[in-house]
């Protein structure tokens, strides 16, 4: 499932083609994805001007001039790609319609944004912009890891008394929004923390040190266009490249990259997810 860097990469790719533009025609080709589309979605979107594209955790939020916000979640296999961009940032002409093109936005500037989702775990909803942050999917989210509300004091408080492994705590979207399995594994490696360590047993200074490390990992991943492991594509259809920079994720049995370390990367299962780490470097 796309994590924060992938979703942010898509948002940035969509912005030049959508922001400030009118949705000349919205095309909805089925009744639902993970859940039913809102009533009259195509009608409500057609003719709207896109005021702003923003991101909250792993959701893209498209603010419209009629007081509604389109919430988009890519799910496991969802892609939002741009074709025919008149600004010349996307060289692809409009492709032929595909079987899993479930929602298509025909923009007034000639661009076409296609939401393709073979597994149909993605989702869209229309929210009242004024109260969007109160939506059940957004209201429970913790601070954005690249924002000022994510800080050492808050993370130390969130770890206090928690007997769960540090990996599980960082994946808790109420603690920090948008982190997923890949980037937690990479951040813990850089912090020299074992994913098995109980959060409550980690010294406050080491917890606080996670904040800049998490930000660094996410920023580097965004700069690389995210990570493409299976289905993810950027808005121009290209792959992300951060997977080539993984220190631990997906590297089970391969040598640790820390200078002087002779250990190999291990994989364990925690809460049904794979954790990759170096048992020698991460304590």
Q: Catalytic residue numbers?
A: 2-3, 58, 273
Question: For residue 178, how many other CB atoms are within 10 A of its CB?
Answer: 24
Residue from 13, 24, 22 nearest 83 by CA: 13
Q: Give the Å distances, CA to CA, from 125 to 68, 81, 82, 87.
A: 10, 19, 20, 28
DSSP 127: E
Q: Strand, coil or helix: what is 178?
A: coil
Q: Give the Å distances, CA to CA, from 199 to 141, 164, 165, 244.
A: 20, 6, 6, 29
Is there a contact between 42 and 27 (Cβ–Cβ < 8 Å)? yes
**DSSP bridge pairs for 128:** 68
What is the spatial distance between Cα 278 and Cα 283, in angstroms, rounded to a whole number?
9
What is the spatial distance between Cα 112 and Cα 105, in angstroms, rounded to a whole number?
6
Is there a contact between 68 and 2 (Cβ–Cβ < 8 Å)? no
């Amino acid at each position: 499932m796309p994590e924060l860097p992938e979703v942010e990469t898509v948002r940035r790719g969509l912005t030049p083609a959508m922001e400030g533009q009118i949705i000349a025609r919205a095309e909805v080709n089925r009744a639902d994805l993970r859940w039913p589309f809102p009533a009259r979605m195509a009608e409500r979107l057609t003719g709207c001007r896109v005021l702003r594209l923003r991101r909250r955790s792993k959701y893209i939020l498209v603010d419209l001039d009629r007081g509604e916000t389109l919430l988009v979640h890519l799910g496991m296999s969802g892609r939002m790609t741009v074709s025919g961009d008149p600004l010349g940032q996307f060289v692809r002409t409009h492709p032929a319609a595909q079987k899993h093109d479930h929602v298509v936005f025909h923009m007034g500037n000639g661009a076409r944004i296609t939401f393709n989702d073979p597994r149909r775990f993605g989702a869209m909803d229309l929210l009242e912009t004024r109260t969007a942050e109160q939506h059940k999917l957004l209201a429970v989210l913790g601070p954005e890891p690249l924002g000022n509300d994510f800080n050492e004091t808050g993370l130390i408080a969130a770890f206090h008394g928690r007997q769960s492994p540090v990996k599980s705590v960082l994946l808790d979207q109420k603690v920090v929004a948008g982190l997923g399995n890949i980037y937690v594994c990479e951040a813990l490696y850089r912090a020299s923390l074992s994913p098995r360590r109980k959060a409550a047993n980690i010294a406050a200074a080491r917890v606080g040190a996670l904040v800049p490390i998490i930000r660094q990992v996410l920023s580097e991943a965004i700069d690389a266009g995210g990570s493409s492991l299976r289905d993810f594509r950027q808005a121009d259809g290209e792959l992300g490249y951060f997977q080539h920079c993984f220190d631990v994720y997906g590297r089970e049995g391969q040598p640790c990259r820390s200078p002087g370390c002779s250990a190999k990367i291990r994989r364990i299962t925690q809460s049904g997810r794979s954790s990759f780490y170096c048992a020698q470097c991460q304590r």
